[in-house]
Amino acid sequence: MNALKKSTVFKGPEGPVVLVIMDGVGIGKYEEGDLARAANTPNLDWLRENALYTQLKAHGTAVGLPDDGDMGNSEVGHNAIGCGRVFHQGAALVNQAIESGAMFAGETWKMLVSNAKENDSALHFIGLFSDGNVHSHLNHLKAMLKQAKADGVKTVRVHSLIDGRDVPPTSALEYVEDFETFLAELNADGSVDYAIASGGGRMNITMDRYNADWSMVKRGWATHVKGEGRMFASMTEAVEMYRAENDGILDQDLPPFVIERDGKAVGPIVDGDSVIFFNFRGDRALEITKAFEADELTEFDRGPKPDVKYAGMMQYDGDLGIPRNYLVTPPSIDNTLGEYFAATGISQLAISETQKYGHVTYFFNGNRMEKFDEALETYVEIPSDICPFENAPRMKADEITGEVVKAIEGGKYQFIRLNYPNGDMVGHTGVFSAVIEGVQAVDDGLARLKDAAEKTGAILVISADHGNSDDMYERDKKTGEVKRTASGEPKPKTAHSLNPVPAIIYDPAGTARARLAAVADPGISNLAATCIKLLGYDPPAAYTPSLVEVG
């Protein structure tokens, strides 16, 4: 790994370059429903007016997704920011593997199918049940079910994690109706038995991340593997019943359910079965994968571990080799910003709270868990509250800010990166007042970072990985009109937006003499080269260009 070359026109600032990622804070297309705009943000407003300011694309092809109808997300966003280039990402890779047939010609697929056929056992699919294209896509599941039938697998069981975050918050039955029709067509000739076996809301069971709440995984294990829990005749019945019993409940929070036949669970996972976790994104796949693969598990009492063949859609952690078997090879991301800085001897701090800690470390470093240089890198995780985020919308913004201010003023680090999760995590709740409070907490943090930069000669680079809080009202896709509840209130939109995100460069000392460069169609991948230039180095030729010129 070659070190970065020093700039011949700018030696670098007195203080550090601080990359501030305001997760989920974009620039709304509509004023109505743009709660990032509705929030009281005097500091962000001042910076927009008095610092260098532009807008960046943070979705679709700008972050490696198949097309510009695909919303960005924190994982691909931090990949793009951290590696300074655009790599084909999860959904695009899976699409290619299915279309080319490479997935089904691969050894992992063959192993799973052969195991189910030889044992006359079931092939199970667990994953997010929507077309949100952030963690998964139902088209991928349908393609695998068709191929399983063609390959002679007699029994398939689907364990559905209901979405409501990356798709409309109460849209579950639309997906169920379509999928049940699809299953009926597969089952029509009587040669196979393919059925939904269990499920529950994605924020209730199975899809925890960053070891924040293993009780979710415990509930998922009991539901999917043991077939324990409240039983229903169908997924439709489960969703309708839970909605009737819990007024206003969102899909993501629906309790777990088990589908029964003749009073027994239709699809527990037992010895000899094959299991595919069909999410392509890694952060919410690691814990359930560990539950299936680890010989010893201390996080919860899982009981006897079934002897199954298990695979993920992709490899979720390349460094740790998790899972051991996977269907699609993830992108090989190299030469990241952190790696270049380590090779150049630049000291770095990465910090966030638990909910986004992996984003400023693992994803920022190109899906790498380990540091590049222990002596040069410090990672700080502030534990997130385990509670609904609408109940604590400031999250840990104040604590993150406090640590970063100390780091700026302490002089140890040349590059600091931080993530404020509020605009995204609180945005996903759909609680409007909480979203506004969360964005205001981020703005309060910017005030303190601004003061620290002015004291030390630091340079702030402020942006986001994607939008969310900027687009909080559901709208009619054809007319753009706000959809409303029976009482006339706007229906909350909890998914990410397709909006651009801000990019602000604040150099209070003026030492960089920075000015905006002429960059065609800028996106968040341009932030890496920008940070390199502001530190007084020349960006690698392969990086997307810097947003600024200096010197």
In a domain, 483, yes or no: no
pLDDT reported for residue 296: 95
The band of 215, judged by pLDDT with boundaries at 50, 70 and 90, is: very high
Give this prediction's pTM.
0.76
Answer yes or no: is pLDDT of 160 > 80. Answer: yes
Question: Residue 315's closest CA among 366, 356, 288, 280?
Answer: 280
* Residue 120 and residue 257 in one domain: yes
Percent above pLDDT 90 for the chain: 90
CATH of the domain at 545: 3.40.720.10
In a domain, 9, yes or no: no
In a domain, 101, yes or no: yes
pLDDT reported for residue 28: 97
The band of 329, judged by pLDDT with boundaries at 50, 70 and 90, is: confident
pLDDT reported for residue 455: 98
**Residue 391 burial (CB < 10 Å; 0-12/13-18/19+)?**
exposed
Question: Residue 466's closest CA among 28, 17, 19, 18?
Answer: 28
* Residue 386 and residue 533 in one domain: yes
* Residue 197 and residue 222 in one domain: yes
pLDDT reported for residue 280: 93
Domain-terminating residue out of 328, 357, 391 = 328
With contact defined as beta carbons under 8 Å apart, do 232 and 238 qualify? yes
* DSSP codes of every residue in 472-509: -B-B-TTT-PBPB-TTSPBPB--SPB---EEEEEE-TT
CATH of the domain at 134: 3.40.1450.10
Answer yes or no: is pLDDT of 512 > 80. Answer: yes
Mean pLDDT over 204-232 rounds to 96
Answer yes or no: is pLDDT of 67 > 90. Answer: no
* Euclidean distance between CA atoms 45 and 447, whole angstroms: 11
Domain-terminating residue out of 328, 353, 368 = 328
Query: pLDDT per residue over 24-35, tens digit each?
Result: 999 999 999 999
Mean pLDDT over 27-44 rounds to 97
Residue carrying the six token digits 């499920």: 199
* Residue 168 and residue 242 in one domain: yes
In a domain, 68, yes or no: yes
Mean pLDDT over 475-502 rounds to 92
Structural domain boundaries enclosing 409: 18-88+332-477+496-549
Higher-confidence position of 267 and 480: 267
In a domain, 488, yes or no: no
* Residue 447 and residue 405 in one domain: yes
Q: How many residues does the chain have?
A: 551
Number of domains the chain contains: 2
Residue 476 has which token pair?
């009619």
* Euclidean distance between CA atoms 240 and 51, whole angstroms: 51
* Residue 422 and residue 462 in one domain: yes
Query: pLDDT per residue over 356-378, tens digit each?
Result: 999 999 999 998 889 999 999 99
Distance (Å) of CA 521 to CA 65, 83, 247, 364, 527: 16, 18, 45, 22, 13
pLDDT reported for residue 319: 56
* Residue 79 and residue 99 in one domain: no
* Residue 193 and residue 252 in one domain: yes
Q: Identify the bridge partners of residue 57 per DSSP, sorted by sequence position.
A: 523
* Residue 138 and residue 123 in one domain: yes
Domain-terminating residue out of 328, 356, 373 = 328
From the list 74, 130, 136, 463, the catalytic residue is 74
Residue 145 has which token pair?
């079910």
Angle, CA of 405, 409 and 413, to the nearest 5°: 95
Q: Identify the bridge partners of residue 417 per DSSP, sorted by sequence position.
A: 19, 350
* Euclidean distance between CA atoms 218 and 442, whole angstroms: 33
* Residue 99 and residue 83 in one domain: no
Range of weakest confidence among 9-23, 66-80, 188-202: 66-80
* Residue 306 and residue 417 in one domain: no
Answer yes or no: is pLDDT of 330 > 80. Answer: no
pLDDT reported for residue 211: 86
- Find the distance separating the first CA and the last CA of the chain, reported in whole Å: 27
* Residue 110 and residue 226 in one domain: yes
Active site residue 74: yes
In a domain, 490, yes or no: no
Answer yes or no: is pLDDT of 317 > 90. Answer: no
Mean pLDDT over 411-428 rounds to 97
Query: pLDDT per residue over 118-153, tens digit each?
Result: 999 999 999 999 999 889 999 999 999 999 999 999
pLDDT reported for residue 203: 96
Answer yes or no: is pLDDT of 350 > 80. Answer: yes
In a domain, 155, yes or no: yes
* Euclidean distance between CA atoms 295 and 297, whole angstroms: 7
In a domain, 6, yes or no: no
